[in-house]
């Protein structure tokens, strides 16, 4: 076991100052202090600012998110970090008026039913498709451990129409992904559990309701506790800004890390213009960057890191005067399945979700374009993406005038895609982490693409290092 030179003052380098790197550094420091240790932490960030994709702009009264516009409030790790940072009073929950969601299907916006009764009476799917869904109860469980795609699982259990018109757009909306490529085990492990433990999705839901009646404890949806989209008064950037202020003395910006090498018992981290010696290195940069950085340490791990694909996502935010939009933008948002006559993946109606994010008398649409279904989006110029969004907004929402506020944010490598084989790739990284204590991978590329995934993993990484330093 590699030991820190001074177990009470281990030297740690964190590569990447996005939300994952910042939260991990903060938790290493916080938990170490609770054990009377004082690690020397350096966060190396290649850009001139920290935060990565978790960043908020404010202009003309509009709050505009670069990446995440919130997190679900059912992850204890996120709530713990928020509490430790003293940010609980700054939390803002999505308006309960914005609970309706729509799917654009065959030329119409159709409301997504939120209860079985609403589903039976809704026009979202034809009667035959609804009947096929009811047959889920009779579909035998598959327990062979095969790494099935999300689409194959949905088609097998719930039928073609459900997979195509409900699941695929949902996967586009959450992961900018293609349901035909993503691994069910990696992105929806709870679904696998529902099938293997209870024999199917409806059976699992019935078991859950029975359990709730027996214990008197009411829990949320089938996948876990009910959750509400939540942000901060000043948007998600408030979280990364607070972490940045907390860690101010530990951050070096414009430090583009090129390599990590072993040097005796220590790691050597080389940037464009300096070398840092460390007992532990946390790689909190995207996996394709980590691949090059560790290529001299492990060829196998570097290949696994390179095999994690990313989907591009463009975010187009348009603020409009209410009178310039014909459609009432008073719901959460909507998704568009592939095969309809639109390139947008869907839009969020920001003023309905978080009313404090737009000036009075305005709407703000936040539309996502690209994703794994449309990687060619990166070939369009900024102007072309703007024009595409403007023309689709016009057709979808009867927008009659130019926006009063515009912002385009492009993420050519936006969201990591946990395709089939993802868990095996992460297992290879776990193997390297065990072989080389002190070297750890974290962030949205591995164990959860969401902010919650990053926060949960930040605590895992901090505890792993503390264990290695025998500080538990």
Ligand X SMILES: Cc1cc2nc3c(=O)[nH]c(=O)nc-3n(C[C@H](O)[C@H](O)[C@H](O)COP(=O)(O)OP(=O)(O)OC[C@H]3O[C@@H](n4cnc5c(N)ncnc54)[C@H](O)[C@@H]3O)c2cc1C
The H-or-E segment that residue 339 falls in is none
Within 8 A by CB and 6+ apart from 153, the residues are: 184, 191, 195
Task: Please state the closest distance from residue 355 (CB atom) to ligand X, in A.
Answer: 18
Q: To 5 degrees, how large is the angle CA 413–CA 414–CA 420?
A: 85
Minimum distance from CB of 313 to ligand X (Å)?
4
Which span (4-12, 41-49, 392-400, 426-434) binds ligand X, by CB under 6 A? Answer: 41-49
Q: Which of 256, 324, 430, 433 binds ligand X (CB under 6 A)?
A: 256
Closest approach, Cβ 421 to ligand X, in A, equals 20
- β-pairing, 251-252 vs 91-93, is unpaired
Residue list 309-328, contact with ligand X (CB under 6 A): 313, 315
Distance, in Å, from the CA atom of 25 to the CA atom of 38, rounded to the nearest integer, reads: 12
Task: Tell me which residue of 465, 466, 459 sits closest to 20, measured CA to CA.
Answer: 459
284/377 with CB nearer ligand X: 284
Per-residue binding string, ligand X, 438-467, x by CB under 6 A, is -----xx----xxxx-x-------------
Tell me the site size for ligand X, rule CB under 6 A: 37
Pick the stretch among 153-161, 219-227, 282-290, 331-339 that binds ligand X (CB under 6 A). 282-290
In angstroms, the first-to-last Cα distance of the chain is: 16
Three-state secondary structure call for residue 233: coil
Q: Is there binding between residue 17 and ligand X (CB under 6 A)? A: yes
Q: How far is the CB of 30 from ligand X (least distance, A)?
A: 18
- Among 21, 159, 200, 312, indicate the residue that binds ligand X (CB under 6 A): 21
CA 256 to chain centroid, in Å, comes to 24
| Shortest distance in whole angstroms from residue 127 CB to ligand X | 34
Selected binder of ligand X within 14, 19, 192, 325 (CB under 6 A): 19
Structure tokens belonging to residue 65: 């998110």
CA distance 327 to 322: 9
Q: In angstroms, how far is CA 312 from the centroid of its own chain?
A: 14
CB of residue 80 to ligand X, shortest distance in Å: 16
User: Containing H/E element for 43?
Assistant: strand 40-44
Cβ atoms of 469 and 31 within 8 Å: the answer is: no
β-sheet bridge partners, residue 321: 362
Binding mask 43-82 for ligand X (x = CB under 6 A): -xxxx----xxx------------xxxxx-----------
- Binding residues vs ligand X (CB under 6 A): 15-21, 44-47, 52-54, 67-71, 256-257, 284-286, 289, 313, 315, 411, 414-415, 443-444, 449-452, 454
């Amino acid at each position: 076991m590699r030991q820190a030179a001074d177990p009470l003052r281990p030297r740690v380098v964190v590569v990447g100052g996005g939300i994952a790197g910042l939260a991990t550094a903060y938790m290493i420091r916080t938990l170490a202090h609770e054990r009377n240790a004082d690690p020397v932490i350096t966060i190396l960030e290649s850009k001139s600012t920290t935060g990565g994709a978790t960043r908020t702009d404010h202009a003309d009264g509009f709050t505009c998110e670069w990446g995440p516009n919130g997190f679900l409030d059912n992850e204890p790790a996120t709530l713990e970090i928020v509490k430790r940072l003293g940010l609980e009073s700054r939390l803002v929950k999505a308006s309960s008026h914005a609970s309706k969601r729509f799917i654009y299907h065959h030329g119409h916006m159709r409301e997504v039913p939120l209860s079985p009764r609403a589903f039976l009476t809704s026009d979202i799917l034809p009667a035959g498709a609804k009947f096929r869904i009811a047959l889920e109860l009779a579909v035998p469980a598959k327990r062979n451990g095969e790494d099935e795609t999300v689409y194959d699982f949905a088609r097998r259990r719930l039928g073609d129409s459900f997979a195509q018109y409900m699941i695929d757009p949902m996967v586009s909306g959450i992961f900018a992904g293609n349901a035909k490529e993503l691994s069910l085990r990696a992105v929806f492990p709870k679904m696998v559990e529902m099938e293997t433990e209870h024999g199917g999705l409806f059976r699992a839901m019935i078991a859950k309701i029975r359990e709730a009646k027996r214990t008197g404890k009411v829990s949320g949806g089938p996948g876990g506790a009910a959750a509400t989209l939540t942000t901060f008064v000043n948007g998600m950037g408030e979280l990364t800004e607070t972490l940045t202020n907390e860690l101010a003395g530990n951050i070096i910006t414009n430090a583009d890390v090129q390599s990590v090498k072993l040097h005796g018992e220590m790691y050597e981290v080389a940037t464009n213009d300096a070398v840092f010696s460390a007992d532990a290195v946390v790689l909190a940069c995207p996996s394709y960057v980590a691949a090059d950085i560790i290529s001299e340490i492990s060829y196998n791990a570097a290949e696994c890191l390179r095999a994690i694909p990313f989907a591009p996502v463009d975010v187009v935010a348009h603020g409009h005067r209410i009178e310039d939009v014909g459609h009432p933008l008073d719901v959460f948002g909507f998704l568009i399945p592939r095969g309809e006559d639109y390139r947008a993946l869907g839009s969020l109606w920001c003023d309905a979700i978080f009313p404090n994010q737009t000036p009075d008398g305005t709407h703000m649409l936040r539309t996502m374009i690209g994703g794994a279904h449309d990687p060619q989006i990166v070939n369009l110029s900024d102007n072309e993406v703007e024009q595409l969004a403007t023309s689709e907004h016009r057709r979808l929402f009867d927008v009659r005038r130019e926006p009063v506020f515009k912002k385009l944010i492009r993420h050519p490598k936006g969201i990591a895609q946990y395709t089939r084989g993802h868990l095996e790739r992460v297992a290879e990284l776990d193997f390297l982490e065990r072989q080389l204590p002190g070297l750890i991978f974290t962030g949205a590329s591995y164990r959860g693409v969401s902010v919650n995934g990053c926060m949960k993993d930040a605590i895992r990484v901090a505890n792993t290092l503390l264990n290695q330093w025998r500080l538990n």
